């Protein structure tokens, strides 16, 4: 079955042009919605992705009607592929998994997207390591100062309960328990 998906961003916009294009392309069933593309959780898109089956082809008028980012596009096409469905954009002829060249180009673009994601992750990790070497602390700021933590350790060593120390410093029991665990690991 040839399935169409049409979307406009606001209720003031009209779906007529997209619907006409999709009907001319032979779409037998049409999913349409008026919802921003920035939100990946779109009711009709989700419904279509759950019902599309092996042998079906999803047709859209333009890529920007389906996805706002390369990542979203590849996630959606991955779902389609896993369901055994094909994909075709009327405005972008290269985005057509019903043809060998379209499958090839989408595979190349998917590979480039994964490479880009991997390079970003590598650069991020390098930046983290460099920052750690410079003494940058990651995570949330401790609830208690170093001096207060030393006082907590002394209080624990003197037999004070975790709960009473937590009340004294107006922090959660978990905060004092984490400090207690540092004593054990030393």
* Domain map (residue ranges) of the chain: 2-110, 146-185
| Structure tokens belonging to residue 42 | 């779109």
Residue in 9, 99, 113, 164 annotated catalytic: 9
Residue-wise pLDDT for 85-122, tens only, equals: 999 999 988 889 888 988 888 778 777 777 877 888 89
Active site residue 89: no
Task: Quote the pLDDT of residue 163.
Answer: 95
Task: Quote the pLDDT of residue 138.
Answer: 85
Q: Tokens 């992705």 map to which residue?
A: 49
Phi, psi of 86 (to 5 degrees): -100, 175
CATH of 2-110 among 2.40.50.90, 3.40.50.300, 3.40.50.1390, 2.20.25.90: 3.40.50.1390
Question: Rounded to whole angstroms, how far apart are CA atoms 118 and 112?
Answer: 10
Judge contact between 87 and 55, C-beta under 8 A: no
Residue-wise pLDDT for 129-166, tens only, equals: 998 899 888 888 889 999 999 999 999 999 999 999 99
Q: How many CB atoms lie within 10 A of CB 14?
A: 9
Instruction: Identify the bridge partners of residue 2 per DSSP, sorted by sequence position.
Output: 57
Q: By percentage, how much of the chain surpasses pLDDT 90?
A: 51
**Is pLDDT of 10 > 60?**
yes
Residue-wise pLDDT for 48-62, tens only, equals: 999 999 999 999 998
Phi, psi of 58 (to 5 degrees): -90, 125
């Amino acid at each position: 079955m040839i399935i169409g998906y049409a979307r406009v961003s606001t209720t003031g916009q009209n779906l007529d042009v997209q619907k006409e294009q999709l009907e001319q392309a032979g779409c037998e069933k049409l999913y349409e919605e008026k919802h921003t593309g920035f939100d990946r959780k779109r009711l009709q898109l989700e419904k279509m992705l759950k019902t599309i089956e092996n042998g079906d082809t999803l047709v859209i008028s333009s890529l920007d009607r389906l996805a706002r980012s390369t990542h979203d596009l590849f996630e959606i096409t991955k779902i389609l592929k896993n369901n055994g469905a094909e994909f075709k954009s009327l405005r972008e002829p290269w985005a057509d998994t019903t043809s060998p060249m379209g499958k090839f180009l989408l595979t190349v673009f998917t590979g480039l997207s994964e490479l880009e994601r991997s390079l970003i992750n590598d650069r991020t990790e390098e930046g983290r390591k460099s920052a750690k070497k410079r003494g940058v602390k990651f995570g949330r700021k401790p609830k208690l100062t170093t001096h207060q933590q030393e006082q907590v350790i002394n209080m624990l060593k003197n037999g004070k309960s975790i709960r009473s120390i937590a009340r004294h410093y107006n922090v959660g029991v978990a905060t004092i328990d984490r400090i207690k665990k540092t004593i054990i690991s030393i």
